[in-house]
Amino acid sequence: MSLYSKTALLLFALSALLSFTAFAQEDLPAQEDLAAQKNLRKDAVKVFIDCNSCDMNFTRQEIPWVNYMRDVREAQVYVLVTRQNSGNGGDLYTYTFHGMEEYAGMDDTLVYTSNPYETSTEIRERRTNLMKAGLLRFASRTPLINEIDITHGDAIEQAEVIDKWRNWVFEISTSPEYTAEESYKRLDIRNSLRVTRITPDIKIEVDFDQSYTRQRFIEEDLDTTYLRSFERLENLFVKSLGDHWSAGMIWEIKTSTSENYDFNTMIMPSIEYDLFPYAEATHRQLRFLYGIGYQFNDYTDTTIYNMTRENLFGHQLRVAYQVQKKWGSISFSLRGMNYFHDFSKHMVAADLFTRIRLFKGLSLTLNLEAARINDQLNLRKGELSEAERLLRLREQATGYEVQTGIGLSYTFGSIYNNIVNPRFGN
């Protein structure tokens, strides 16, 4: 390239850069406007939102009159958002607002129950409106209250709500799937039915799950088909006995080719005690459940204990702990069971999930699932074939099961995160 060409190219690039800079500066507000906006935003209340299911970009756009902090230690208001399944098939969202520093003592709790017929957009808007209502009392103590317009929709005629379904909710799903290759065919069908009725005094849940899998392997001189099926009906009946106690019954019916059950049923009356009132379940709970019951097994093939059917009696104990606070959350459960005829036939399992903010910007997550298994009375007698082992067509003997994971994240930089820029986003 000649010197003239290089000089022309350099001048063109410099001209384009100056033009772009001038264009960008046209959109910049005047210095005095910038200063006014900066001072106004500086006085906005500092908020930390602890929510795993919130659309924070939408929240920042719809509520620009607060400062969104990246660390809870820098905030004046801590907002904890929790979600639980509700009796109508939707979700119950609980928003807890906790004032700190000059807002100490200004605490509030707001709830919203979504409807299963609502779209995700409608749910997002209603949740954001609830967030606005909760933050408004804090913003009203700042100069930004003069920049907020409060509006309302058209008046809604008061009418008595008549529920012809009497709190009964039904959910049906099916998912057939078929895969075909020259040497392999697979048909997979999964169906489910869920029926619930939940009121403050009673809880009824009926869950039916069914799955059927057929795999066909085609070779030159061999055509083999493997089948696996599973049906389970789970019933739960619970009656409230006050703020801390409840009683109920768990009833399960099951058939399974992989678990060697032609028919299996288990009935277990149980009682539960929560150390904290059930009304605080979205923030903390420590529940103890004890059940004692009867189990009948009709096996497809003879078991390793030379049984084709048997009647069993046993009991179980479950302990569940959960807490959600500013520093993070912990969920832990421990459950154990054994049969009365042989106390060595038992199972003990534990589940742990925790998310902890160690210090500014550093968070730790840990999940652990572990079980000590010594209650496989249903194992088939005889050796497993290679296909049964590889395709998991038959339950295999094991003494334990473990699954674990850990995560560590560290964020640093500006403590403010008010800006929304969706360009090139996912």
Total domains in the fold of the chain? 1
3 pLDDT band, cuts 50/70/90, is very low
What share of the chain has pLDDT > 70, as a percent? 82
Asked if residue 195 lies in contact with residue 168, where contact means CB atoms within 8 angstroms, the answer is yes
Would strands 77-85 and 46-50 be described as parallel, antiparallel, or unpaired?
Answer: parallel
- List, as one string, the DSSP characters of 327-393: TEEEEEEEEEEEETTEEEEEEEEEEEEEEEEEETTEEEEEEEEEEEEE--TTPBSSPPPHHHHHTT-
> How far apart (Å, rounded) are the C-alpha atoms in residues 253 and 234?
7
* Residue 134 domain flag: yes
Asked if residue 356 lies in contact with residue 363, where contact means CB atoms within 8 angstroms, the answer is yes
Instruction: Report which DSSP code applies to 102.
Output: G
* Residue 420 domain flag: no
Q: Which two tokens stand for residue 161?
A: 């709500």
DSSP SS3 for 157: coil
Partners of 197 in the β-ladder = 168, 204
> How far apart (Å, rounded) are the C-alpha atoms in residues 134 and 269?
42
Residue 66: which of 146, 151, 136 has the closest Cα? Answer: 136
Asked if residue 261 lies in contact with residue 254, where contact means CB atoms within 8 angstroms, the answer is yes
Count of other CB atoms within 10 angstroms of residue 262: 14
Region 20-47: mean pLDDT is 56
* Residue 59 domain flag: yes
422 pLDDT band, cuts 50/70/90, is low
DSSP SS3 for 422: coil
At residue 425, the pLDDT reads 52
Region 130-152: mean pLDDT is 82
How far, CA to CA in Å, does 96 sit from each of 49, 56, 279, 282, 418?
10, 17, 13, 10, 21
* Residue 349 domain flag: no
Residue 350: which of 338, 364, 365, 367 has the closest Cα? Answer: 367
125 alpha-carbon distance from chain centroid: 20
389 pLDDT band, cuts 50/70/90, is confident
Kindly tell me if the per-residue pLDDT of 86 is higher than 60: yes
Region 290-307: mean pLDDT is 94
Q: What is the CATH number of the domain that holds 134?
A: 2.60.40
Instruction: Report which DSSP code applies to 74.
Output: G
* Residue 182 domain flag: no
Kindly tell me if the per-residue pLDDT of 89 is higher than 90: no
- List, as one string, the DSSP characters of 143-155: GGGGG--------
Partners of 269 in the β-ladder = 249
> How far apart (Å, rounded) are the C-alpha atoms in residues 197 and 205?
7
Asked if residue 166 lies in contact with residue 147, where contact means CB atoms within 8 angstroms, the answer is no
Kindly tell me if the per-residue pLDDT of 366 is higher than 60: yes
Region 163-186: mean pLDDT is 89
* Residue 56 domain flag: yes
The parent domain of residue 104 ranges over 39-145
pTM score, two decimals?
A: 0.63
* Residue 57 domain flag: yes
* Residue 100 domain flag: yes
At residue 18, the pLDDT reads 45
- Helix or strand run (H / E) with residue 218: strand 202-218
